[in-house]
């Protein structure tokens, strides 16, 4: 579902280009067609978003239920809960007792499933979005010819892609340099 959502967003990017082009050409019939096309895209985005949320919650609920049942069956099998309390040599104190372990297991599993799902989907989303939007930028950007001498020139294809990569690289380097200085200043500030 995440891939379909990214596909619809890429489609929206192409629609945006066509919409602006028709607007600049003062082409009223094409402009009205693109508005109708946007209605279709907007309805698709809404349906995909709602369905994606539903399927995500359903998947997480089933995964949590399965993991909780598995962990609790292991916890309760062969009196493992009893053996855990015998692992300590001295008498357990109030802080050492495992109060309500089934609830703790359930809460930990809830946190685990949500974090793993968010991390995995985020990684997939970032990778597919990167590839998709590089393709979009490459197809939308033109070619620039750089002339060094009258006899020597070269062309750079996908100028917007290269510009975005250089911008991101420079932004990362500058942020790293500023962040490194701030780290030391924060350390000095915390010392006092």
pLDDT at 183: 80
Which pTM value belongs to this model? 0.65
* pLDDT at residue number 173: 96
**pLDDT score recorded for residue 84:** 62
Contacts 24+ apart (CB under 8 A), 52-55: 52/1, 52/2, 52/5, 55/1
Q: Residue 2: what pLDDT?
A: 79
Exposed/middle/buried for residue 34 (C-beta within 10 Å: 0-12, 13-18, 19+): buried
* Least trusted range by pLDDT, from 49-53, 84-88, 93-97, 151-155: 93-97
Beta strands in the chain (DSSP E): 143-147, 153-157
pLDDT band for position 157 (cuts 50, 70, 90):
confident
Task: Give the other-Cβ count within 10 Å of 88's Cβ.
Answer: 10
What does the domain layout of the chain look like in residue ranges? Answer: 2-140, 142-192
pLDDT digits (tens, 9 = 90+) for 6-57: 888 888 888 888 888 888 888 889 888 999 999 998 998 899 899 999 999 9
Half-sphere exposure of 25 (CA within 13 A, CB side): 12
């Amino acid at each position: 579902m995440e891939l379909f959502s990214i596909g619809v967003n890429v489609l929206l990017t192409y629609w945006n280009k066509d919409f602006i082009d028709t607007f600049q050409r003062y082409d009223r019939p094409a402009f009205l067609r693109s508005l109708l096309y946007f209605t279709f895209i907007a309805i698709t985005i809404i349906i995909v978003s709602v369905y994606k949320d539903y399927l995500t919650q359903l998947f997480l609920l089933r995964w949590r239920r399965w993991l909780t049942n598995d962990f609790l069956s292991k916890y309760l099998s062969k009196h493992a809960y009893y053996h855990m309390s015998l692992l300590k040599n001295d008498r357990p104190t109030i802080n050492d007792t495992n109060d309500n372990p089934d609830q703790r297991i359930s809460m930990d599993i809830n946190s685990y499933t949500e974090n793993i799902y968010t991390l995995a989907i985020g990684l997939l989303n970032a990778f597919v979005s990167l590839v998709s939007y590089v393709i979009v930028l490459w197809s939308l950007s033109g070619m620039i010819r750089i002339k060094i001498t009258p006899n020597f020139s070269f062309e750079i294809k996908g100028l917007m892609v290269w510009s975005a990569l250089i911008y991101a690289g420079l932004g990362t380097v500058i942020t790293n340099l500023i962040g490194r200085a701030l780290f030391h200043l924060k350390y000095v500030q915390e010392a006092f």
